[in-house]
Every structure is written in C-alpha cells, then in structure tokens.
C-alpha cells in the first residue's frame, strides 16, 4: 500500500533506482514506506521553496483584485481547457489567459483595485467607509503540471521470455479503462496455446488455438468483467495466463487497451529538472538516514533554509529549481 501524497513530484521506483545506483543501500519492499515518506517531505519542501503548487488540478482561488489588468494565479501553467472564469464581488468578469507559463490572467475591464477606499482618517476601528468594503476576485481554473504519478499510458504492453514449462503469467500494471470495453491482444510463436484471464480470481476469458503469428484479440465487454464498469478502473486484480503444450523456446507479447485509449492517455509534463531535484534530495536524505544523521554525511550549508545542517533541499538542486520559483 502506497503512502505517497497526491502532490508527490516523483515515484518510488525512480528513487529506488537512484538510491541503488549510487550504492548507498539496496531498497527492498520493506523500505518502500520510508522512501515514500521522504518523497512526500521533499515534494512539500520543493513547493514551499518555489512558492507554488505543481500538481495539475481544478482550483478555485480568492484574490484581492490587483491594480491594472493582470492577476497572478497560484498554479501554472494555466490550461485553456476548460477556460478560466472569474467573478468580482459576485459579478461575472470577462477574463483571458495573458501568459499561461507565468500564471497570468487578464481582465480588460481591470480588476478593480483602484476602487478601494481607505478607512476614514481618525477611525478607531479602521473600517472602510460605508458601502466600500474590500473587493474579492474569485477565480476558477485548471493549472499545474501532470505529475509522474498521474500519468497513464495509452496502451499497456509487455513481453515475457521463454519459460521451461511454457507457462507465462502476465500481470498488467495500472491502466485507465474508462469505456468498459477491455481489449486483450496476444502474440506468440509457440504452438498449442491456451489463453485465460482472471479478474480478482474470477475467470473472464478462456481460449485455445494451435498457433498464430497474427495477434489473437479478445474484446471483453462490461458483462465479462466482475462488478461491471466499476471494476475496470485501473486493471487492479487483472491477470493473463498463456500456456504452451510444447515447452519450447518462445516469447509471448501482449497489449491491453480499451476503446477510449487515445482519449484516456494522460501524458506527464512536469519539467525533468523538478523531478530530478526531488530524486536527488530523497537520495541524499536516505544517505543521511544510513549515516545516523552524523555530521560527516550532512551538508554543512543549505541555502534553501539559510545556514544549518537540517536542510531538506541540498544546495546542488537549487539551480535546477531556480527557473521554476514564483516570479511575482
């Protein structure tokens, strides 16, 4: 079970590979929760250092209207679809994206900061004058990047090399299936093949054929899947078994897709510098953990939190993050 937060800027597998590559210690399944906890800590630290959230999602923000025509949003880049909307004191305003990469939203009528009135001179409460309360801009938009953990491939593909018994068990990774129509395609050079698939232990496919160089494709509708469409969410519990009567050298390849795959694909677009900064920070924190947090494994300076030995982000990652710090 993962404990990664939704705003995690990298994945457990990426950090595991880096930690193993630098030879600090092999990370096994028992360490997953510890590494994921460090990923959460580092991801939060990077967001605080850059003064902006990174995950792409729909947001509603309240802002004090600025002077002029441009309002700076919290998350960017700003998506054009759906188009941002805004109200000022509950009245709809016409807005457009001025600069997506910098999170700038334009209102040609102006945001209304010039309409503020100061409190009356000598007022004890410092309240504004009657009917001149501070104005509020309410903006709804989608902004940020698709994080590594939110990305999904259009098609799940896999291959299994020959096995002495001619028995191949293929377990699919997570994959979006939003149409309720799962398609499984199998290609193998072996002979006398038996293909079967189960979902949560329940049989949903069974077939045999002598040989086939062309793909054998099976379309599984809602009726074939336990609990209908709800079970199609992410292929959890899906397993495909291919068996050959002749235990000869062969290979089995497969693809798993759904009828809406082209539209269902979500491509990760988080800048690589940000993820690399997260991976490096996690690896260094892991090294500190192994060294018992002694002085010889801790950096002696950390600009991210000024000076000291308790920094989350090492100096080496700060140049990677500099282009992505909030500019306003």
Q: Count CB neighbours of 138 within 10 A.
A: 15
pTM, 2 dp: 0.63
Residue 251: name the closest of 198, 186, 176 by CA.
186
CA distance 41 to 9: 10
Preceding omega of 77 cis (within 30 degrees of 0): yes
DSSP 73-123: -SS-SBPSSSPPEEEETTEEE-EEEEEGGGTEEEETT---GGG--PPPTT-
> In the predicted model, is pLDDT for residue 146 greater than 50?
yes
CB 28 within 8 A of CB 283: no
In our burial notation (b when 16+ CB lie closer than 10 A, e otherwise), range 287-306 reads ebbeeeeeeeebeeebebee
What is the rounded distance in angstroms from the CA atom of residue 17 to the CA atom of residue 181? 35
pLDDT digits (tens, 9 = 90+) for 198-230: 666 677 777 777 665 566 666 665 555 555 444
8-state DSSP, 15: H
Question: Residue for token digits 């590594």?
Answer: 148
* pLDDT value of position 10: 93
> From CA 272, how far away is CA 286, in angstroms rounded?
21
Percent of the chain with pLDDT over 90: 38
Return the structure tokens found at 212: 């086939």
Task: Return the bridge partners of 137, or none.
Answer: 63, 88
Q: Residue 160's pLDDT is what?
A: 46
Helix (H) or strand (E) holding 185: strand 182-188
Q: List, in sequence order, every residue forming a beta bridge with 217; answer none if it has no partner.
A: 185
Residues 6+ apart with CB under 8 A from 172: 156, 158, 235, 238, 239, 240, 256
Q: Is the pLDDT of residue 239 over 70?
A: no
Q: Which tokens sit at 121?
A: 């001179």
Pick from 13-22, 73-82, 202-211: least confident: 202-211
Average pLDDT over residues 192-201: 68
Measured distance CA(38)–CA(63) in Å, rounded:
33
What structural domains does the chain harbor? 12-53+270-324 (no CATH), 57-143 (no CATH), 156-264 (2.60.120.380)
Beta bridge partners of 269: none
Least confident of 18-27, 48-57, 146-155, 212-221: 212-221
Name, in order, each residue with C-beta under 8 angstroms of 31's C-beta and a sequence gap of 6 or more: none
Reduce the secondary structure of 291-317 to three states and give it as a string: CCCCHHHCCCCCCECECCCCCCCCHHH
Which residue has 């698939």 as its token pair? 197
Is residue 256 within 8 A of residue 173, CB to CB? The reply is no
In the sheet that holds 156-160, the strands lie side by side as: 156-160, 252-258, 182-188, 212-220
Beta-bridged to residue 205, according to DSSP, are 197
Question: pLDDT tens, 313-323?
Answer: 999 999 999 99
Instruction: Give the containing element (helix H, strand E) for 187.
Output: strand 182-188
Q: Residue 169: is its pLDDT beyond 80?
A: no
pLDDT at 294 over 60: no
Higher-pLDDT residue of 188, 316? 316
pLDDT of residue 102: 94
| Range in 51-60, 270-279, 294-303 the model is least confident about | 294-303
């Amino acid at each position: 079970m993962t404990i990664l937060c939704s705003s995690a800027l990298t994945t457990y597998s990426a950090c595991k590979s880096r930690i193993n590559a630098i030879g600090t210690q092999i990370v096994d399944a028992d360490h997953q929760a510890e590494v994921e906890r460090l990923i959460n800590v580092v991801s939060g630290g990077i967001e605080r250092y850059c003064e902006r959230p990174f995950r792409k999602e729909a947001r509603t923000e309240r802002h004090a209207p600025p002077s002029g025509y441009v309002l700076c949003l919290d998350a960017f880049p700003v998506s054009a679809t759906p188009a941002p909307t805004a109200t000022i004191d509950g009245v709809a305003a016409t807005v457009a994206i001025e600069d997506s990469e910098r999170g700038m939203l334009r209102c040609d009528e102006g945001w209304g900061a010039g309409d503020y009135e100061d409190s009356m001179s000598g007022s004890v409460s410092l309240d504004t004058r009657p009917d001149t309360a501070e104005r509020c801009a309410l903006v709804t938009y989608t902004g940020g990047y698709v994080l590594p953990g939110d990305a999904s491939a259009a098609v799940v593909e896999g291959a299994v090399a020959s096995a002495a018994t001619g028995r191949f068990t293929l377990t699919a990774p997570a994959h979006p299936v939003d149409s309720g129509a799962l398609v499984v395609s199998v290609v193998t050079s072996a002979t006398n093949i038996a293909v079967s698939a189960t979902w949560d232990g329940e049989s949903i496919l069974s077939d045999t054929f002598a040989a086939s160089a062309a793909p054998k494709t099976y379309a599984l509708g809602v009726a074939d899947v336990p609990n209908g469409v709800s079970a199609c969410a992410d292929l959890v519990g899906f397993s495909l078994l291919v068996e050959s009567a002749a235990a000869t050298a062969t290979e089995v390849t497969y693809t798993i897709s759904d009828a809406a795959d082209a539209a269902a694909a979500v491509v990760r677009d988080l800048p690589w510098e940000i993820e690399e900064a997260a991976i490096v920070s996690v690896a260094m924190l892991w090294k500190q953990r192994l060294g018992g947090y002694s002085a010889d494994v801790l950096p002696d300076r950390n600009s991210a939190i000024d000076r000291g030995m308790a920094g989350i982000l090492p100096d080496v990652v700060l140049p990677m993050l500099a282009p992505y710090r909030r500019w306003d």
